[in-house]
Amino acid sequence: MKKKFWKTVFLAAALLLSPPPLFSKGAKAPQDILKGRIICIDPGHGLTKKKYNEKIAPTSTKTKPAFVSGTRGAKYTEEQLVLIVGKKLQTRLQELGATVLMTRETHEAERSNIERAVLANEAGADMAVRLHADAGPTKAVSGMHMLVPSSEYVKTPGVVAESKKLAQLVLKNCVAETGAKNRGVMERSDMTGLNWSTVPVILLEMGFMTNAQEDALLSTDAYQEKIVNGIVRGILEYYGVK
Protein backbone atom coordinates (compact mmCIF):
# COMPACT_ATOMS: atom_id res chain seq x y z
CA MET A 1 0.00 0.00 0.00
CA LYS A 2 2.80 2.40 0.96
CA LYS A 3 4.66 1.61 -2.26
CA LYS A 4 1.57 2.38 -4.35
CA PHE A 5 0.97 5.62 -2.42
CA TRP A 6 4.48 6.97 -3.00
CA LYS A 7 4.41 5.94 -6.64
CA THR A 8 1.19 7.95 -7.07
CA VAL A 9 2.77 10.96 -5.36
CA PHE A 10 5.88 10.65 -7.53
CA LEU A 11 3.82 10.59 -10.74
CA ALA A 12 1.58 13.46 -9.67
CA ALA A 13 4.60 15.65 -8.98
CA ALA A 14 6.07 14.87 -12.41
CA LEU A 15 2.83 15.73 -14.17
CA LEU A 16 2.35 18.99 -12.28
CA LEU A 17 5.84 20.22 -13.09
CA SER A 18 5.71 21.87 -16.49
CA PRO A 19 8.84 21.45 -18.62
CA PRO A 20 11.32 24.30 -18.16
CA PRO A 21 11.51 26.87 -20.97
CA LEU A 22 14.21 26.30 -23.55
CA PHE A 23 15.24 29.94 -23.33
CA SER A 24 15.23 32.32 -20.37
CA LYS A 25 11.94 33.95 -19.45
CA GLY A 26 11.15 36.91 -21.64
CA ALA A 27 13.81 36.06 -24.20
CA LYS A 28 12.73 35.52 -27.78
CA ALA A 29 13.87 32.22 -29.22
CA PRO A 30 16.19 32.87 -32.20
CA GLN A 31 14.07 31.12 -34.77
CA ASP A 32 16.84 30.80 -37.37
CA ILE A 33 19.64 29.78 -35.02
CA LEU A 34 19.95 26.35 -36.69
CA LYS A 35 19.24 27.56 -40.22
CA GLY A 36 21.37 25.67 -42.72
CA ARG A 37 21.88 22.71 -40.38
CA ILE A 38 20.69 19.26 -41.42
CA ILE A 39 19.87 16.98 -38.52
CA CYS A 40 18.78 13.37 -38.90
CA ILE A 41 16.56 11.91 -36.18
CA ASP A 42 16.35 8.14 -35.95
CA PRO A 43 13.56 6.84 -33.69
CA GLY A 44 14.83 3.31 -33.10
CA HIS A 45 13.13 0.06 -34.08
CA GLY A 46 9.68 -0.03 -35.70
CA LEU A 47 7.22 -2.65 -36.89
CA THR A 48 8.13 -4.90 -39.80
CA LYS A 49 7.98 -8.46 -41.05
CA LYS A 50 11.37 -8.16 -42.74
CA LYS A 51 14.01 -10.56 -41.49
CA TYR A 52 17.59 -10.61 -42.73
CA ASN A 53 21.09 -9.90 -41.48
CA GLU A 54 23.41 -7.09 -42.54
CA LYS A 55 27.09 -6.30 -41.99
CA ILE A 56 27.77 -4.37 -38.79
CA ALA A 57 30.35 -2.21 -40.60
CA PRO A 58 31.51 -1.66 -44.19
CA THR A 59 34.84 -3.40 -43.48
CA SER A 60 33.52 -6.17 -41.23
CA THR A 61 32.36 -9.68 -42.05
CA LYS A 62 30.25 -9.84 -38.88
CA THR A 63 26.50 -9.53 -39.32
CA LYS A 64 23.50 -8.72 -37.15
CA PRO A 65 19.74 -8.64 -37.75
CA ALA A 66 18.78 -5.61 -39.83
CA PHE A 67 15.54 -5.20 -37.88
CA VAL A 68 15.04 -5.88 -34.19
CA SER A 69 12.22 -5.18 -31.78
CA GLY A 70 12.92 -3.11 -28.69
CA THR A 71 11.86 -3.34 -25.09
CA ARG A 72 8.53 -2.22 -23.63
CA GLY A 73 7.02 -0.54 -20.60
CA ALA A 74 3.61 -0.49 -18.99
CA LYS A 75 2.10 2.03 -21.43
CA TYR A 76 4.33 2.11 -24.51
CA THR A 77 6.63 -0.14 -26.45
CA GLU A 78 10.07 1.28 -27.10
CA GLU A 79 9.30 1.96 -30.74
CA GLN A 80 6.17 3.91 -29.74
CA LEU A 81 7.94 5.96 -27.09
CA VAL A 82 10.92 6.96 -29.22
CA LEU A 83 8.66 7.93 -32.13
CA ILE A 84 6.68 10.25 -29.83
CA VAL A 85 9.87 11.88 -28.57
CA GLY A 86 11.37 11.94 -32.07
CA LYS A 87 8.43 13.88 -33.49
CA LYS A 88 8.57 16.38 -30.63
CA LEU A 89 12.29 16.84 -31.26
CA GLN A 90 11.63 17.25 -34.99
CA THR A 91 9.16 20.06 -34.32
CA ARG A 92 11.49 21.86 -31.92
CA LEU A 93 14.49 21.71 -34.26
CA GLN A 94 12.39 22.88 -37.22
CA GLU A 95 11.20 25.83 -35.14
CA LEU A 96 14.87 26.77 -34.74
CA GLY A 97 15.44 26.66 -38.48
CA ALA A 98 17.01 23.22 -38.95
CA THR A 99 16.22 20.90 -41.81
CA VAL A 100 15.20 17.63 -40.16
CA LEU A 101 15.34 14.18 -41.71
CA MET A 102 13.34 11.41 -40.03
CA THR A 103 14.31 7.79 -40.59
CA ARG A 104 10.68 6.92 -39.86
CA GLU A 105 7.54 8.92 -39.10
CA THR A 106 5.15 6.00 -38.61
CA HIS A 107 5.27 2.83 -36.55
CA GLU A 108 6.43 0.86 -39.60
CA ALA A 109 10.16 0.35 -40.12
CA GLU A 110 11.03 0.55 -43.81
CA ARG A 111 14.75 1.21 -43.37
CA SER A 112 17.32 -1.15 -41.91
CA ASN A 113 20.06 0.12 -39.59
CA ILE A 114 22.43 0.53 -42.53
CA GLU A 115 19.80 2.38 -44.54
CA ARG A 116 19.09 4.73 -41.64
CA ALA A 117 22.77 5.64 -41.45
CA VAL A 118 23.04 6.04 -45.22
CA LEU A 119 20.07 8.43 -45.23
CA ALA A 120 22.03 10.86 -43.05
CA ASN A 121 25.29 10.25 -44.92
CA GLU A 122 23.88 10.92 -48.38
CA ALA A 123 22.04 14.04 -47.20
CA GLY A 124 25.29 15.45 -45.84
CA ALA A 125 23.69 15.75 -42.40
CA ASP A 126 25.54 17.70 -39.76
CA MET A 127 24.66 15.04 -37.21
CA ALA A 128 22.45 12.03 -36.57
CA VAL A 129 20.54 11.61 -33.31
CA ARG A 130 19.34 8.09 -32.61
CA LEU A 131 16.68 7.65 -29.93
CA HIS A 132 16.23 4.51 -27.83
CA ALA A 133 15.05 3.37 -24.41
CA ASP A 134 16.66 0.60 -22.41
CA ALA A 135 15.99 -2.64 -20.55
CA GLY A 136 18.05 -3.39 -17.47
CA PRO A 137 19.43 -6.58 -15.96
CA THR A 138 17.30 -5.82 -12.89
CA LYS A 139 14.24 -3.64 -12.29
CA ALA A 140 16.30 -1.33 -10.08
CA VAL A 141 18.60 -0.07 -12.85
CA SER A 142 17.79 3.46 -14.04
CA GLY A 143 19.32 6.45 -15.78
CA MET A 144 20.40 7.79 -19.16
CA HIS A 145 23.47 7.00 -21.19
CA MET A 146 24.94 7.61 -24.61
CA LEU A 147 26.45 5.29 -27.19
CA VAL A 148 28.91 6.59 -29.78
CA PRO A 149 31.05 4.90 -32.45
CA SER A 150 34.57 3.72 -31.76
CA SER A 151 37.54 4.04 -34.09
CA GLU A 152 37.63 0.29 -34.77
CA TYR A 153 35.43 0.65 -37.85
CA VAL A 154 34.66 4.36 -38.17
CA LYS A 155 37.54 5.97 -40.04
CA THR A 156 35.94 9.17 -41.38
CA PRO A 157 38.12 11.96 -39.94
CA GLY A 158 36.63 13.62 -36.89
CA VAL A 159 33.49 11.50 -36.63
CA VAL A 160 34.45 9.64 -33.45
CA ALA A 161 35.73 12.74 -31.67
CA GLU A 162 32.80 14.93 -32.72
CA SER A 163 30.29 12.22 -31.83
CA LYS A 164 31.76 11.98 -28.34
CA LYS A 165 31.76 15.77 -27.91
CA LEU A 166 28.11 16.00 -29.00
CA ALA A 167 27.13 13.03 -26.82
CA GLN A 168 28.69 14.52 -23.70
CA LEU A 169 26.91 17.85 -24.19
CA VAL A 170 23.51 16.32 -24.95
CA LEU A 171 23.73 13.85 -22.08
CA LYS A 172 24.80 16.59 -19.65
CA ASN A 173 21.83 18.74 -20.61
CA CYS A 174 19.32 15.86 -20.63
CA VAL A 175 20.39 14.88 -17.11
CA ALA A 176 20.17 18.50 -15.95
CA GLU A 177 16.65 18.81 -17.37
CA THR A 178 15.27 15.52 -16.08
CA GLY A 179 17.27 14.75 -12.95
CA ALA A 180 17.98 11.27 -14.29
CA LYS A 181 21.10 9.37 -13.29
CA ASN A 182 24.03 10.01 -15.62
CA ARG A 183 25.37 6.64 -16.76
CA GLY A 184 27.98 8.15 -19.05
CA VAL A 185 29.09 7.95 -22.67
CA MET A 186 30.25 4.62 -24.07
CA GLU A 187 32.04 3.81 -27.32
CA ARG A 188 30.63 0.79 -29.14
CA SER A 189 32.06 -1.10 -32.10
CA ASP A 190 29.14 -3.51 -32.52
CA MET A 191 26.34 -1.06 -33.41
CA THR A 192 25.48 -1.12 -37.11
CA GLY A 193 23.86 2.32 -37.18
CA LEU A 194 26.95 3.86 -35.60
CA ASN A 195 29.55 1.99 -37.66
CA TRP A 196 28.04 2.93 -41.02
CA SER A 197 27.78 6.62 -40.19
CA THR A 198 30.09 9.10 -41.89
CA VAL A 199 28.64 12.01 -39.91
CA PRO A 200 28.76 12.63 -36.13
CA VAL A 201 26.23 10.28 -34.54
CA ILE A 202 24.91 9.71 -31.04
CA LEU A 203 22.54 7.14 -29.61
CA LEU A 204 20.62 8.30 -26.54
CA GLU A 205 19.21 5.67 -24.22
CA MET A 206 16.53 7.86 -22.62
CA GLY A 207 15.89 5.65 -19.61
CA PHE A 208 15.02 2.14 -18.50
CA MET A 209 11.52 0.95 -19.32
CA THR A 210 12.13 -2.00 -17.00
CA ASN A 211 12.31 0.39 -14.04
CA ALA A 212 8.71 1.10 -12.99
CA GLN A 213 9.32 4.66 -11.77
CA GLU A 214 11.43 5.68 -14.75
CA ASP A 215 9.04 4.02 -17.18
CA ALA A 216 6.14 5.95 -15.63
CA LEU A 217 8.05 9.22 -16.10
CA LEU A 218 9.01 8.38 -19.69
CA SER A 219 5.31 7.95 -20.44
CA THR A 220 4.43 11.53 -19.46
CA ASP A 221 4.36 14.48 -21.82
CA ALA A 222 6.18 16.67 -19.27
CA TYR A 223 9.15 14.33 -18.96
CA GLN A 224 9.33 13.80 -22.72
CA GLU A 225 9.49 17.57 -23.18
CA LYS A 226 12.35 17.74 -20.69
CA ILE A 227 14.26 15.15 -22.72
CA VAL A 228 13.67 17.16 -25.88
CA ASN A 229 14.79 20.34 -24.12
CA GLY A 230 17.98 18.59 -23.04
CA ILE A 231 18.74 17.32 -26.54
CA VAL A 232 18.16 20.75 -28.08
CA ARG A 233 20.21 22.53 -25.42
CA GLY A 234 23.03 20.06 -26.00
CA ILE A 235 22.93 20.59 -29.78
CA LEU A 236 22.93 24.37 -29.34
CA GLU A 237 25.86 24.16 -26.93
CA TYR A 238 27.69 22.00 -29.48
CA TYR A 239 27.33 24.91 -31.88
CA GLY A 240 28.52 27.38 -29.28
CA VAL A 241 25.11 28.66 -28.16
CA LYS A 242 24.45 28.66 -24.41
pLDDT at 16 over 60: no
Distance CA 103, CA 50 (A): 16
pLDDT at 242: 78
Residue 87 vs residues 2, 65, 146, 211: alpha-carbon distances, Å: 37, 26, 20, 24
The answer to whether the CB of 56 falls within 8 A of the CB of 191 is yes
pLDDT for 71-87, tens place per residue?
999 999 999 999 999 99
Domains annotated on the chain, with CATH? 36-238 (3.40.630.40)
pLDDT at 18 over 50: no
The answer to whether the CB of 68 falls within 8 A of the CB of 76 is no
Please report, as a single letter, which amino acid is at residue 116: R
What angle do the packed helices 2-16 and 221-238 form, to 10 degrees? 50
For residues 133-139, average pLDDT: 96
For residues 222-229, average pLDDT: 98
For residues 118-128, average pLDDT: 98
Residue 142 vs residues 84, 167, 183, 201, 205: alpha-carbon distances, Å: 20, 18, 9, 23, 11
The answer to whether the CB of 131 falls within 8 A of the CB of 116 is no
For residues 53-62, average pLDDT: 97
CA dihedral 133, 159, 171, 25 (to 10 degrees): -120
The answer to whether the CB of 171 falls within 8 A of the CB of 165 is no
For residues 47-52, average pLDDT: 96
pLDDT at 57 over 90: yes
pLDDT at 9: 43
pLDDT at 192 over 50: yes
pLDDT at 31: 73
State the chain's mean pLDDT as an integer.
Answer: 91
pLDDT greater at residue 23 or residue 165: 165
Flag whether the pTM goes above 0.85: yes
pLDDT at 25 over 50: no
Distance CA 172, CA 183 (A): 10
Share of the chain above pLDDT 70, in %: 88
The answer to whether the CB of 167 falls within 8 A of the CB of 148 is yes
- In 22-52, which positions are buried (b, 16+ CB within 10 angstroms) versus exposed (e)? beeeeeeeeeeebeebbbbbbbbbbebeeee
Residue 158 vs residues 105, 123, 130, 163, 200: alpha-carbon distances, Å: 30, 18, 19, 8, 8
